[in-house]
Amino acid sequence: MPLKISVIGTGYLGATHAAAMAELGFEVIGLDVVPAKVELLAQGRSPMYEPGLEEILRRHVVGLPDSTGRLSFTTSFAEVAAFADVHFICVNTPQRPGEYACDMSYFDGAVDALAVHLDRPALVVGKSTVPVGSAARLAARIAELAPAGADAELAWNPEFLQEGFAVRDTLHPDRIVVGVTSERAEETLREVYATPIAEGSPFVVADLPTAELVKTAANAFLATKISFINAMAEICEVADGDVVRLAEALGHDERIGPKFLRSGIGFGGGCLPKDLRAFFARAGELGASESLQFLREIDSLNMRRRASMVELTREALDGSLLGKRVAVLGAAFKPETDDVRDSPALNIAGQLHLQGAEVSVYDPKAAANAKAVFPTLRYADSAVSAAQGAHVVLHLTEWREFQELDPAALGEVVSRRHLLDGRNTLDASLWRKADWTYRALGRPRA
Ligand code: UDX
């Protein structure tokens, strides 16, 4: 009998994983405790903007025209426990308010709610990013609560997807990592991933803590790479160098590689910043603060980028933000997503507003989410409309449509042709040719 799968939590990770598992041929049930999300998904609609996800949902959600009917959604833990053999837990693990540590309450709650219904052999698989040691604690919890006893097991299978590429990354992972405590669990996970689509991905088997650590270590490494190039940008600023050229040259070294060397206003989003902080908080709990001390520096360097952008804006406005019109292009934490969690772009827009500037923001997808977080900013419905009468234009999220902007046309609507590129992705010479003053962090003035 083919395995049946449940996916608990339908955020970026869970909704994509559920859809991908159905695409791979499994019968899947997705669970969320928010009824509105379940209703949306049951109509084949995604609760967030994620390219390609709705197409897959529509192909498989039960009851939709021409669908395979392999994918359904529910709010009932009893239902998923009765349905599935493998339960992927994809619940969010945010930063605790006012602290660096991770808030495990949603994840722990989901495990408890599921475990009490597990009355037959089942594999519970943690996918979310958690502090190392959580898996062992949760395995003991399942053993305590599940009526099936030792037949209900826990494994760990971290997910490395990037928002905006969630479907591609889930269907074509660059590696599959599983943390297991028994051969049976390993076999079950091999069966889940023994599909033509996942074929060719390296399959790494580890113990529980190592599997948990792979994810936090990967995120810490990526954050370090970004903060490294941003540190080089700070040096370029004082030495008159060009960080973009520097990154290009560094990236040709195969040992370094070109990816994640884009300098600018730094990293944000629902993962890198909070995972980094949870990682050093956890190291402290384990008595190993010193080992991850450098990550605190990575974090503060990253936050400094936002402050530097605010300062560069002030400088462009001759020292005062008060009453000046600032156009902000981008609110999402990166392109191809409507996610504004810990977004450097929105944070900078907010700081400028709080310091007296009249800020007008345009983002192709994230305006509604941005408005919910920061309702007092003005939101425009195009780049041109945001730029009307602006004394300075800030490019803070590198959506493709901003690279295609016509500098001459935009120049017609602004008060001053002054552009600050926070992502180093616009063509400086093009803007300068159209009489714009182009400035960026870590790049020469002209
Ligand atoms: C990240 C990890 O990449 C992914 O493996 C993990 O599963 C979740 O966290 P994500 O948050 O979707 O994914 O975004 P990512 O593409 O990693 O970008 C994170 C932030 O870093 C963004 O704000 C982005 O703009 C910034 N970034 C990225 C840079 O500033 N420079 C770069 O070179 C790359």
Q: What is the pLDDT of residues 302-357, one digit of tens each?
A: 999 999 999 999 999 999 999 999 999 999 999 999 999 999 999 999 999 999 99
Q: What is the pLDDT of residue 210?
A: 98
Q: 333 C-alpha to center of ligand 1: Å?
A: 9
- DSSP one-letter string for 209-246: HHHHHHHHHHHHHHHHHHHHHHHHHHHHHHHT--HHHH
Global ipTM: 0.98
Quick one: average pLDDT of 21-50?
96
CB 213 within 8 A of CB 422: no
pLDDT band at 95 (very low <50, low <70, confident <90, very high): very high
Spatial separation of the C-alpha atoms in residues 227 and 371, rounded to whole Å: 28
Q: Ligand 1 pocket, 264 CB below 6 A?
A: yes
- Ligand 1 pocket check: which of 53, 95, 129, 226 to mutate, most ligand atoms within 8 Å of Cβ? 226
What 3-state DSSP class applies to 150? helix
Question: Per residue in 201-250, pLDDT tens?
Answer: 899 999 999 999 999 999 999 999 999 999 999 999 999 999 999 999 99
pTM of the complete model beyond 0.90: yes
What letter would DSSP give residue 255?
Answer: T
Domains observed in the chain? 4-206 (3.40.50.720), 207-446 (3.40.50.720)
State yes or no: is 271 an active-site residue.
yes
Q: What percent of the chain has pLDDT over 70?
A: 99
Question: Per residue in 132-172, pLDDT tens?
Answer: 999 999 999 999 999 999 999 999 999 999 999 999 999 99
- Ligand 1 pocket check: which of 250, 267, 329 to mutate, most ligand atoms within 8 Å of Cβ? 267
Q: What percent of the chain has pLDDT over 90?
A: 97
Identify the residue whose C-alpha is closest to ligand 1 atom 27.
267
pLDDT band at 276 (very low <50, low <70, confident <90, very high): very high
Q: What is the pLDDT of residue 1?
A: 81
CB 414 within 8 A of CB 437: no
Give Cβ neighbours of residue 105 (< 8 Å, ≥ 6 apart).
none
Spatial separation of the C-alpha atoms in residues 52 and 225, rounded to whole Å: 29
HSE on the CB side for 294, CA within 13 Å? 8
